[in-house]
Amino acid sequence: MPKWKKQHAATQQIDLLLFDQFSGHCLANTVEPLRAANGFAGRDLYSWRFLTLSGAPAVSSAGMEVIAQRALARAEGDMLIAMPSYGYLRHATDATARGLRAAAARYRVMAGFDTGAWLLAAAGLLTGYRATIHRAEMEEFTDCFPEVDASQQRYLWDRDRLTCSGAMSAFDSILDMIGQQHGQALRLDVADLFMSADPEPTSGNNLSGTPLRSTTVARAVKVMEDNLENPLPLTDVARQTGRSLRELARRTQAELGVTPQGLYRHFRLKRAKRLVLETEYSVAEIALRCGYENPSALTRAFRTEFQTTPRQLRSARR
């Protein structure tokens, strides 16, 4: 995986190169987690544009027309995602290959989603790389591109290349990218919004190569989320997972990058933020509902987490 900008640095520019017959499902599963991450973070972590080779609109497999914001030749950014989906062979032209090879000099990461890996391979951009593609195309892909180290995975990062096998794995790859760049707590927020369960851990399924949530951590998360109004001592949380507090701390730190205390605080403050934005409860009432002794304690923690106070956030909403 490439070395990304620091957590609080500039907005990442993600461009989606669409072709006629692209999958609307794959497109939504790529863009929606980025939108959600921006919403939870309260700032633009990511921006995205829709591109085509010529700048003309693209029409999805379901007849949805998407207006291109610019032609590929006029775009540059952090990641370019080729998304041909259905009918990809008719898009594997010399013009497409030339456009992708030129774009590789303007983007830090080149990605192929669904059948997009075929276009990257045809352009010579996966030579010597590990890559995956939709399972229905894997046998022919392997035969046509022996120079690519093809493997049937949900998605694969190899240095400055990302490939994934379909619409659902597009969501998984973007979700884990969010976690790697901006922390696993944000990743959990986005997954929870879409009620997404983590995929079963298999080699290559995430950016770090290891499962991001073990059964122990998943149990701890559930215990914490079930006890926000009256927070449990962390020793009780650990006991309900069947682990010692020290072992739970080791696992949450390794898998989510936070301590159990920090994770519990995050869930309480996330609930507080939702109540501030979606209800008319007083700050004192919200503090009680989120396990804080008084409004001042909530406000201090809220400011540290979100760089604003509950009252300021509510005023900005109106």
Long-range CB pairs of 281-286, under 8 A, 24+ apart, other chains included = 283/310, 283/311, 286/310
The mean pLDDT value for 157-168 works out to 90
pLDDT digits (tens, 9 = 90+) for 121-154: 999 999 999 999 887 788 888 888 999 999 888 8
Asked if 165 contacts 11 with a C-beta cutoff of 8 angstroms, the reply is no
DSSP the chain: ---PPPTTSSPEEEEEEE-TT--HHHHHHHHHHHHHHHHHHTS-SEEEEEEESSS--EE-TTS-EE--SEEGGG--EEEEEEE--TTGGGG-SHHHHHHHHHHTTTEEEEEE-TTHHHHHHHTT-STT-EE---GGGHHHHHHH-TTSEE---SEEEETTEEEESSHHHHHHHHHHHHHHHH-HHHHHHHHHHTTPPPPPP-TTSSTTSS-S--HHHHHHHHHHHH-SSSPPPHHHHHHHHTS-HHHHHHHHHHHHSS-HHHHHHHHHHHHHHHHHHH----HHHHHHHTT-SSHHHHHHHHHHHHSS-HHHHHHHH-
Q: What is the pLDDT of residues 188-243, one digit of tens each?
A: 888 877 765 444 333 333 333 333 456 888 888 889 988 988 999 999 999 998 88
**Cβ proximity of 152 and 162 under 8 Å:** no
Residues found in the chain? 318
- Model confidence pLDDT, tens digit, residues 175-187: 888 888 887 778 8
Confidence of residue 15 (pLDDT cuts 50, 70, 90): very high
Could you report the per-residue pLDDT of 64-81, keeping only the tens digit for each? 999 999 999 999 999 999
Fold (topology level) of 262-317: Arc Repressor Mutant, subunit A (1.10.10)
pLDDT of the residue at 3:
52
| Among 78, 237, 96, residue whose Cα is nearest residue 160 | 78
Mean pLDDT across 295-304: 92
**From-to residues of CATH 1.10.10.60 in the chain:** 262-317
Cα 198 to the chain's mean position, in Å?
12
pLDDT of 89 reads: 85
pLDDT higher than 50, residue 13: yes
pLDDT at 168: 84
The tokens describing 105, both together, are 């000099």
> Which position has the token pair 């990218």?
177
Residue spans in the chain of domains classed CATH 3.40.50.880: 12-184
Domain 12-184 carries which CATH code?
Answer: 3.40.50.880
